[in-house]
A and B are shown apart, each in its own frame.
Chain A
Amino acid sequence: NAGVTQTPKFQVLKTGQSMTLQCAQDMNHEYMSWYRQDPGMGLRLIHYSVGAGITDQGEVPNGYNVSRSTTEDFPLRLLSAAPSQTSVYFCASSPLREGPYNEQFFGPGTRLTVL
């Protein structure tokens, strides 16, 4: 199993550009989520999904869109990039069967810089 994969690993954007961060998992997990990691702030939840066709907002959703058309994929879209979105982005997945005790499996992260 590849686990959770993310592409690209690094990305530089100009202010106002849009892009999609890709996330895929091959563990058949129902739950997938996106976090951003900023220095001194830990990880903060952006959006999450509990299954195909179901998404919801997390703590910091503004400026980001998500969709979940398949169990495997959960892309994160930046609509109009801003310097405040410079961060490291992590995708994670977990099965729902154990509820909140679940271990989340994380991808390797995408480092995004917005100039």
Chain B
Amino acid sequence: AQTVTQSQPEMSVQEAETVTLSCTYDTSESDYYLFWYKQPPSRQMILVIRQEAYKQQNATENRFSVNFQKAAKSFSLKISDSQLGDAAMYFCAYRSEYNNNDMRFGAGTRLTVKP
């Protein structure tokens, strides 16, 4: 089964600075999809960004971008110009092309933003 590892339980960033959250995954598949979800204190999970593995170009969504390294099985999230509202748990997730009913999540990284 695929596993997703987030090696940073907690991260901290100064407001307006840039922070990178790490995610690695283990798979033998060639086609899959990767996601970053944000969970603020309200507990509501919100999609931040997603990437299709067959696309080499890194996805971007405003201040959020990813560094997708397929060979290294790495999918890091970069948050630029950090804002207080970015403080949350961030989960990396993997979804197979072949068994797309099963989404695998990492353990999460808690991001603190300091004013």
Q: Is B11 an interface residue (CB 8 A)?
A: no
User: Would you give the shortest CB distance from B30 to chain A, in whole angstroms?
Assistant: 14
Residue numbers in A under 8 Å from B6 (CB-CB): 42
Interface digits, A6-37 against B, CB 8 Å rule (1 contact, 0 not)? 00000000000000000000000001010100
Complex: how many Å from CA A56 to CA B103? 14
Interface of A is mostly: strand
Give the total of B residues in contact with A, Cβ under 8 Å.
27
Interface digits, A98-115 against B, CB 8 Å rule (1 contact, 0 not)? 011101101011000000
Instruction: Please tell me if the beta carbons of A56 and B101 are within 8 angstroms of each other in the complex.
Output: yes
Instruction: Please tell me if the beta carbons of A100 and B96 are within 8 angstroms of each other in the complex.
Output: yes
Residue numbers in A under 8 Å from B47 (CB-CB): 103-104
Residues of chain A having any CB pair with chain B under 8 Å? 31, 33, 35, 40-45, 48, 50, 56, 58-59, 88, 90, 92, 99-101, 103-104, 106, 108-109
Complex: how many Å from CA A88 to CA B56? 36
- Most chain B beta carbons < 10 A, residue from A41, A99, A106: A106
- Most chain A beta carbons < 10 A, residue from B1, B101, B107: B101
The one of B45, B100, B101 in contact with A106, judged by C-beta atoms closer than 8 angstroms, is B45
